[in-house]
Structure 1
């Protein structure tokens, strides 16, 4: 196994990496700096766009657009020149709440969770799905910081966590209707003193989760057993994604300054990592269909 830095870019709050096989690029966001970025396989930055509000998560898109994005309070499509075309602004709540982690399901719909950061005692966040026709559907409520959104290879399981709760959940997911089954506990990160952030799956159905407070990536079996942890050279890993020509590189965004509790003076904090030699391959992310 080898862990190297990918690009020389140091992000404040790096999140939502997604490999774009159409171009051979890795896209990601810097939420705190309101940016979407992309780099080629050599780590050379190819795109860098700055917006008027945070971008919580992104996914690939088609139909003449490059990306779908969950901005702080709305969904939008992103053109190749960076222009953002708003789609819908669902009622996610007022005050200190914004969109956060997100992924497309295997049918080309885009899910994004919300998070609250104003210290409210009540759990006001949840998960929304951007439908193919452009409407938005609320899927889950009663959360504070929705994270770890990803799908099993077959698409019949949705993984999701509330970072502040510390438990990665799973839900039966109907690929055709998008209906959720009952909430199930999948892996309790509290048992290892960790908090889950972003996550992805590999071709064998194992879940790879950023253990943000432990400076590790955790690999969890489809049955919910912790198989291994990987120590990282910088603090606060935020989100992993498989990519590269053979989908065998695990890219990991990290955090230098979240604007809240997570802040590091490590000289390489916020840099992207590229991990190879894991003996695992990822699955191409689904593309949002308008």
Structure 2
């Protein structure tokens, strides 16, 4: 029997970016190409969805109660109560075949978001950006095929990031006040049986939990990069874990799966949960007030 249960049979093409909104006791996640953010009340089971004009690559919570959201080539701020949508940034200088992908709010109160190449095979033409509440965008890194796996240690002093195509997880020392980075290192290089690193989360013990969709597993790495656990997922294609109190929620991928795989796993693209294996690190808030 799997450790995981299906909690929302959403059948998203690419379900991603689960975020724990603790004050409202709800789990939010993106349907990237469905141009939607879904919200699940974990106590009542009530469901809400908001549609957007473009793909939703990722998003984060704001201090104001709004959401900071990555569209295809720019960032918006969205109010879930009034449904007001406000453009925050100009378009990033990206090739037309790129789009913004994985993003999270860091301990510095900025929204960090990377881009990915949608060509096949993917080229290293993506980048990683830091976005501040006044709409300034700074390019922090480039030469990335699929920017993914953003997460920070519980003390805010280590930043993690992966390039899915290159199958590497990297880390930096991080200044939680300025957002400055130093001492870059490769934390882990994943073998085929580990899966290519996708979305990730960290726990209070300092461990980094990374989905390996191509292998159908969630990998747990120590702060030094040692593989501590390889946790089988009930369907192929887990995309990102999210700690939410005493539960771990995980989104999944449906897009690109064969008819045979979909017949065997009809709930692909859904939201799953299990008992949390650890206590999650704090969720960052965009410093818009």
TM-score with structure 1 length normalisation? 0.92
Which residue matches 1:268?
Answer: 267
1:248 CA drift (Å): 2.4
1:27 is displaced (CA, Å) by 0.6
Q: How far apart, CA to CA, are the structure 1 residues paired with 2:237 and 2:192?
A: 19
SS of the equivalent of 2:88 reads strand
| Cα distance, 1:233–1:79 mapped onto 2, change above 3 Å | same
- Local SS of the residue matching 1:88: coil
Deviates more, 1:221-230 or 1:182-191: 182-191
- Name the counterpart of 1:252: 250
Query: How far did residue 121 of structure 1 move?
Result: 6.5
Q: Which runs of 5+ in 2 are unaligned?
A: none
3-state SS of the aligned residue for 1:204?
Answer: coil
Alignment correspondent of 1:12: 13
Structure 1 residue aligned with 2:47:
46
SS in 1 for 2:191: helix
Closer, same or farther: CA 42–9 of 1 in aligned 2, 3 Å: farther
Please name the residue that 1:289 is paired with. Answer: 287
**Per-residue deviation, 1:191:** 6.5
Please list the CA deviations of residues 106-138 of structure 1 after superposition, one character each: whole Å capped at 9, or x if unmatched. Answer: 121110110011237752101111113321111
The alignment yields a C-alpha RMSD, in angstroms, of 1.8
Counterpart-to-counterpart distance in 1, 2:73 and 2:226: 36
The equivalent residue for 1:66 is 66
Runs of 4+ aligned residues of structure 1 deviating over 6 Å after TM superposition are none
Offset from partner CA, 1:64-109 (integer Å, 9 cap, x none) = x421111111111111243321100243312110110011111211
Give the whole-Å Cα distance in 1 for the aligned partners of 2:96 and 2:205: 41
Contact 2:194 2:212 in 1 (8 A): no
Cα 1:43–1:181 change in 2 (3 A) is farther
Report the more deviating stretch, 262-271 or 49-58.
262-271
- What secondary structure sits across from 1:53 in the alignment? coil
- Where 1:10 maps in the other structure, the secondary structure is coil
Secondary structure at the counterpart of residue 283 of structure 2: coil
Contact kept, 8 Å, 1:254 with 1:270, in 2: the verdict is: yes
Contact 2:192–2:215 under 8 Å retained in 1: no
In structure 2, how many angstroms separate the alpha carbons of the residues matched to 1:121 and 1:78?
31
1:262 Cα offset (Å):
4.9
Alpha-carbon separation, structure 2, partners of 1:163 and 1:28: 20
TM-score scaled by structure 2? 0.92
Q: Describe the superposition over 1:1-46 as per-residue Cα deviations: whole angstroms up to 9, x where unpaired.
A: 8311112322210000000011100011000111111001047343
Q: Distance in 1 between matches of 2:143 and 2:78?
A: 30
Query: Which residue does the alignment assign to 1:157?
Result: 158
| CA–CA separation in structure 1 for the residues paired with 2:271 and 2:94 | 32
* Residue of structure 2 in register with 1:77 after alignment: 77
Structure 1: tracts of 5 or more residues without a match: none
